[in-house]
C-alpha cells in the first residue's frame, strides 16, 4: 500500500523532484551478480568518486538537503552520504538513519571562469559592484559553508548583494561559472579539480574556515541493510579512503 508522500508521487508518475536532476547509476551491464546492491543517496559533490569505490551500487546524486527531504518522505534509500553533518544528524534524531560517521573532508573554494572577465584574484573581489556571484541555496551544504565563510570574513552584506542565483546543488554552480554565466561561484575543491581546467580556483583564507566534512549513514528503513552496511565499510576501508584522497578529498 502506497502511503508515503514519495510513494504517492511515484504512483502518479512524477519522476523528477523539483529542479534537481537526479542521476541514477547502476552496475556495469556485463555484471551477472544476483547479490542485492544498495541504493545510495549521495551529495552531488560525490558524483565522480563514489562509483569508483563501488561501481555496482545504485546511486541518486543531488543536494544533501533535497535528499534529506526525500528520505523523510520515504524514498527507497539504503545509504545517505552528505556533504555536511547537519542533514544526517537531523535524520538520526528522527530515527531515520543509524549514527552518522565522518568519512571525508573537503575544502570550499572560489571559482571563476578560465578567462576571469571580472578579474577576481581574491575573495574580497566578489564584493565589488557588478560582480555576478552564484552560490548554493542555504539548504545545501555548499551554500551553508559559503555563508559561513562570508560571516567569518565580515563580507556577508556586500557578497549577498552580488548573488544573482542560488542553486540546488554544487554541480549547477560549477556549470554556470564554467559556461561564463557568472563571474564567480563557491564549490568544493574536488568539483573544481574535476572541471578539467574549465575554471580557475581562488583559495579562501584560513579565516574563512573553508573546511567541509562529509558524513555517511545507513538508512534504517532501507530494504538492503547488509548491503548498506557493507557499502559504508567499503567507503571507510583503506582502499575506499585512498580513492577519496586521489579525488582530492581529505582524511576524515
Is-contact 214 108, C-beta < 8 A? no
Model confidence over 167-176: pLDDT tens digits? Answer: 999 999 999 9
The arithmetic mean of pLDDT across residues 157-167, rounded, is 97
Nearby residues of 157 by Cβ (< 8 Å), 6 or more positions away: none
C-alpha cell at 227: 548491503
Domain ranges of the chain: 5-11+19-28+35-104+212-246, 107-211
Residue 2 has pLDDT above 90, yes or no: no
Dist CA 12 CA 32 (whole Å): 32
* Cα pseudo-dihedral 159, 163, 215, 247, rounded to 10: -90
Per-residue confidence (pLDDT) for residue 24, from 0 to 100? 37
Per-residue confidence (pLDDT) for residue 208, from 0 to 100? 96
Dist CA 4 CA 56 (whole Å): 27
Report helix, strand or coil for 45: helix
Per-residue confidence (pLDDT) for residue 13, from 0 to 100? 37
Indicate the burial class of 26 (C-beta count within 10 angstroms; 0-12, 13-18, 19 or more): middle
107-211 and 5-11+19-28+35-104+212-246 share a CATH fold: yes
C-alpha cell at 79: 545509504
pTM: 0.84
Model confidence over 8-54: pLDDT tens digits? Answer: 443 343 333 333 333 333 333 333 344 689 999 999 999 999 999 99
Per-residue confidence (pLDDT) for residue 105, from 0 to 100? 98
Residue 7 has pLDDT above 70, yes or no: no
| Domain range 5-11+19-28+35-104+212-246, CATH architecture | 3-Layer(aba) Sandwich (3.40)
List the CATH code of the domain at 107-211.
Answer: 3.40.190.10
Residue 84 has pLDDT above 70, yes or no: yes
Is-contact 92 98, C-beta < 8 A? yes
Q: Identify the residue whose cell numbers are 574563512.
A: 208
Amino acid at each position: 500500500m502506497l502511503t508515503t508522500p514519495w510513494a504517492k508521487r511515484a504512483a502518479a508518475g512524477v519522476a523528477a523532484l523539483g529542479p534537481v536532476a537526479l542521476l541514477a547509476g547502476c552496475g556495469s551491464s556485463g555484471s551477472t551478480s544476483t547479490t542485492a546492491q544498495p541504493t545510495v543517496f549521495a551529495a552531488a559533490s560525490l558524483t565522480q568518486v563514489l562509483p569508483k569505490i563501488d561501481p555496482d551500487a545504485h546511486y541518486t546524486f543531488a543536494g544533501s538537503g533535497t535528499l534529506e527531504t526525500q528520505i523523510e518522505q520515504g524514498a527507497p534509500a539504503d545509504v545517505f552520504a552528505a556533504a555536511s553533518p547537519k542533514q544526517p544528524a537531523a535524520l538520526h534524531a528522527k530515527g531515520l538513519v543509524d549514527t552518522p560517521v565522518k568519512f571525508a573532508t573537503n575544502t570550499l573554494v572560489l571559482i571563476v571562469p578560465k578567462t576571469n572577465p571580472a578579474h577576481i584574484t581574491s575573495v574580497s573581489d566578489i564584493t565589488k559592484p557588478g560582480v555576478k556571484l552564484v552560490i548554493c541555496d542555504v539548504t545545501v551544504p555548499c551554500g551553508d559553508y559559503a555563508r559561513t565563510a562570508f560571516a567569518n570574513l565580515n563580507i556577508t552584506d556586500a557578497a549577498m548583494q552580488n548573488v544573482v542565483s542560488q542553486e540546488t546543488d554544487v554541480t549547477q554552480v560549477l556549470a554556470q561559472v564554467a559556461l561564463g554565466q557568472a563571474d564567480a561561484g563557491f564549490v568544493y575543491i574536488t568539483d573544481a579539480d574535476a572541471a578539467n581546467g574549465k575554471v580557475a580556483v581562488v583559495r579562501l583564507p584560513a579565516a574563512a574556515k573553508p573546511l567541509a566534512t562529509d558524513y555517511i549513514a545507513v538508512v534504517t528503513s532501507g530494504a538492503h541493510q547488509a548491503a548498506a552496511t557493507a557499502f559504508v565499510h567499503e567507503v571507510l576501508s583503506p582502499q575506499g579512503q585512498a580513492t577519496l584522497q586521489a579525488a582530492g578529498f581529505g582524511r576524515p
